[in-house]
Structure 1
């Protein structure tokens, strides 16, 4: 996914979960000014939004006409890491979009693990079809749903089409190369995980995808210190047959795309 109208600034403060103040220069040589930004992430992000941090803002030229309260959205931040800087996308709406783009990109050659296969020996005829967003199941609304099709998608019988759900979680918390989720307790997240486990029992394929909104990550793990119950639910779901996936992202100031798998070790949950 790509962003338009990007401008860089300096973080000043975050009075509440929804807004931040940042200093920008609208044009080269212009006077610095303080603007109010919508923070597109309701997580704590305390390790990211530090006074003086360089941030990425998206300008919304249509703000006044559309009734937006702010002209800017805060979508990224440069995090200092051992005298270097890591660009982190912190737009919580972006992971669902890039996950959908990722699924569409591999409709004809999926690399998702599938029950009964080890991920490296998937049937050559496997394809993805009917990719949809925001699909209700039970008491939850999952981010993505699709069919795994064994055989020609045009002629595949109902028995050759296995329905699947995918729940997507954006990850911005990192410590020493280890990505963690959540950065704050999430009862809603637990509810979704347990619903995925129930879907597996009902015959669906189910995935939880952690979209790590940065590069330079060597491992993903649930944040047991902040919310141990989330780790327990994730382990329970894995044992029930839910596939737990983590991928990092290629991040630029104006784009985000899922890139490479990151190791996940369910035995440690």
Structure 2
């Protein structure tokens, strides 16, 4: 998907809290919004180059969103709204092999007390619930999730198991918001309970996908499926 709004590259200064950061733009220090509640500490390092997307909301406190950062030569998108958008695009374009048969794509659909990112339906009425997780953490080309403990993420996995137990299909897709990754794994040392839940989901025949993305300052799109190592 293309990023239609204006983007600029600037120098990152610091991030005092989850939602705010300071950057240097035209020799002026300004505050920007960070659309990601994860830690991103290994990415947002003082002095690194980051990408801002210009926003023009009337009630906004900041003019820009910080949507990506360079980790060395690698550009990593950190916008938490992006994964669902690129998956939606990939589903429409039939880029996800196992999900090609689904012709009806619905977003943010409830199932019982749960809400999943996608509800997919095929021509025979078969239903598939899909949850999407954005991944920004990598170490030596190996992507991991989560970069902070997530009870909510673990709850989603348990709910997907419930879907399987009710006789429907379910999956979780990890969208690696970067390219040239070797593999994906749960980040057990950060949140072992999430890793346990992911392995239990696998045992319950919940599909686990990991796709990396082609990332540039003005676009991001799903590219290759990556090995999942549990």
Task: Give the TM interval when normalised to the shorter protein.
Answer: over 0.9
Q: Does structure 1 residue 37 correspond to structure 2 residue 32?
A: yes
> How far has the Cα of 1:110 moved from its partner?
5.7
Aligned pairs for 1:252-263 (under 5 A) are: 252-263=216-227
The equivalent of 1:20 in structure 2 is 21
Q: Per the alignment, do residues 102 and 254 of structure 1 end up closer, same or farther by CA in structure 2, a change over 3 Å counting?
A: same
TM-score by length of 2: 0.96
Residue deviations 1:118-147 (CA, integer Å, cap 9, x gap): xxxxxxxx7222201101112221011111
The equivalent of 1:100 in structure 2 is 88
From 117, 125, 133, the counterpart of 1:161:
125
Unaligned runs of 5+ in 1: 26-31, 114-125, 150-159
Whole-angstrom CA distance in 2 between matches of 1:138 and 1:229? 23
The equivalent of 2:109 in structure 1 is 135
Whole-angstrom CA distance in 2 between matches of 1:192 and 1:139? 11
Aligned pairs for 1:198-213 (under 5 A) are: 198-213=162-177
The equivalent of 1:77 in structure 2 is 69
Question: Are the equivalent residues in 2 in contact too, given 1:138–1:195 (CA < 8 A)?
Answer: no
Residue deviations 1:66-106 (CA, integer Å, cap 9, x gap): 211110000000002xxxx1000000110011111110111
Whole-angstrom CA distance in 1 between matches of 2:53 and 2:133? 22
Runs of 4+ in 1 over 6 A off after TM superposition: none
From 95, 98, 115, the counterpart of 1:112:
98
Unaligned runs of 5+ in 2: none
From 43, 46, 52, the counterpart of 2:41:
46
Report how many aligned residue pairs link the two structures. 229
Q: Does structure 1 residue 59 correspond to structure 2 residue 54?
A: yes
Please say which structure displays the higher CA radius of gyration. Answer: 1
Whole-angstrom CA distance in 2 between matches of 1:187 and 1:34? 35
